[in-house]
Amino acid sequence: MEYIPQLILLILIAKLIGEGVRRVGIHPIVTDVFTGILLGPFILGLVKPTIELKALADFGLILLMLYTGLTSDFKAIFGRGKVVFITGCMGAFTTIAIIFTTSILLGLPLIVSFIISIALSSTATEISAAILSRERVNKEVSSILIGASFIDDIIAVYLINLVASGIKLGFEEILYTTVKIALFIVIVIKLSGIIVRKYWKYLYIIFSDTPRTLIFSLIVAFTLAFIAREIGLSEVVGAYLGGLMVSRIREVHDPLLINVIRLSSLIGEVRFMLETVFTTLFFIYVGLLFNPDIAKVSIVLMLILIALAFTGKFIGCFISLILLGYSRKVALLVSVGMEGRGALETAILRFALESKMITAEIYATIVTVLLVTSIITPILFHYVNKKVMV
The confidence score (pLDDT) of residue 25 equals 56
Q: Calculate the alpha carbon distances from 139 to 64, 80, 120, 378 in Å.
A: 18, 12, 26, 18
387 pLDDT exceeds 60?
A: yes
* Residue type for position 279: T
For 53-71, what is each residue's pLDDT tens digit? 888 888 888 887 788 778 7
d(CA 382, CA 153): 23
The stretch 2-20 carries a mean pLDDT of 85
The confidence score (pLDDT) of residue 117 equals 92
The confidence score (pLDDT) of residue 161 equals 66
The CATH number that applies at residue 358 is 1.20.1530.20
79 pLDDT exceeds 90?
A: no
Of 162 and 119, the one with more pLDDT: 119
For residue 50, the number of C-alpha atoms closer than 13 Å in the C-beta half-sphere is 14
Residue 303's Cα: distance from chain center in Å?
23
26 pLDDT exceeds 70?
A: no
Of 240 and 225, the one with more pLDDT: 225
The confidence score (pLDDT) of residue 180 equals 79
The confidence score (pLDDT) of residue 382 equals 84
The confidence score (pLDDT) of residue 23 equals 67
Nearest to 269 by CA among 315, 327, 210: 210
The confidence score (pLDDT) of residue 344 equals 66
Of 164 and 35, the one with more pLDDT: 35
Nearest to 280 by CA among 53, 21, 50, 115: 53
With a CB cutoff of 8 Å and minimum separation 6, the contacts of 183 are none
For 84-123, what is each residue's pLDDT tens digit? 889 999 999 999 999 999 999 999 988 889 889 988 988 8
Indicate the range of 108-117, 137-146, 255-264, 311-320 predicted with least confidence: 255-264
Indicate the range of 95-99, 207-211, 283-287 predicted with least confidence: 207-211
The confidence score (pLDDT) of residue 367 equals 80
For 329-356, what is each residue's pLDDT tens digit? 889 999 999 988 876 677 677 777 767 7
The stretch 179-197 carries a mean pLDDT of 83
Of 325 and 258, the one with more pLDDT: 325
pLDDT, mean over the chain: 81
The stretch 74-83 carries a mean pLDDT of 73
Q: Give the total number of structural domains in the chain.
A: 1
For 248-278, what is each residue's pLDDT tens digit? 777 666 655 666 677 677 777 787 777 778 8
Nearest to 60 by CA among 222, 192, 183, 226: 222
Percentage of residues in the chain with pLDDT exceeding 70?
84
With a CB cutoff of 8 Å and minimum separation 6, the contacts of 160 are 115, 118, 348, 351, 352
The stretch 181-208 carries a mean pLDDT of 78
Q: Which of the 8 DSSP states describes residue 250? A: G
Q: Calculate the alpha carbon distances from 134 to 213, 339, 375 in Å.
A: 24, 17, 15
Question: What residues make up the domain containing 280?
Answer: 3-389
